[in-house]
Amino acid sequence: MIGAELTDAEKFRIVSDFFLLQSPPGEFNEVFNDVRTLLNDDILLEKGCLEAIKQYNRSQFVSVKLDGVEQATLVTEHNEMSDGRFVDPKSQKIFKYDHLRKEAVETHPISKEIDDKHEQWRKILQKGIG
């Protein structure tokens, strides 16, 4: 099958597993732009590689600035909620993260979404490390 065209699924796997997820810290944008040039299909890139981009961002603890909050927070698997939103416990905000544009969207206060018992422990821990 020399010269056979790769299927979209094969392209996704190669781009995700061998390029995007293996990007060195701080070099993701450069690798992404190179992959974008190679694929030459933004719709295909967004559709097929979004999960890899999300995985990379969470594993690298990408920082993000929330509106009205002085310090940036992190995007990690540890502060991700079951619906894909993220919690910034220090600022008491919940936000969605746009993994392609690398920005927080739909930010709002936590309200009672986090158990008060856990908040007590978070404050003690934050005081100890901060």
Hey, where are the domains in the chain? 1-57, 61-130
What is the rounded average pLDDT of the residues 86-98? 92
Contacts for 28-34: CB closer than 8 Å, 24+ residues apart: 28/56, 28/60
Stated pTM of the model: 0.77
State residue 116's pLDDT score. Answer: 65
CATH architecture of the domain covering 61-130 = 2-Layer Sandwich (3.30)
CATH architecture of the domain covering 1-57 = 2-Layer Sandwich (3.30)
What confidence tens digit (pLDDT) does each residue in 46-85 have?
888 889 999 999 999 999 999 999 999 999 999 999 899 9
Cβ atoms of 69 and 93 within 8 Å: the answer is: yes
Cβ atoms of 56 and 20 within 8 Å: the answer is: yes
Same fold, 1-57 and 61-130: yes
State residue 62's pLDDT score. Answer: 94
State residue 1's pLDDT score. Answer: 53
How confident is residue 98, by pLDDT bands cut at 50, 70 and 90?
Answer: very high
Contacts for 123-129: CB closer than 8 Å, 24+ residues apart: 126/89, 126/90
Q: In degrees, to the nearest 5, what angle opens at C-alpha 18 toward C-alphas 24 and 63?
A: 35
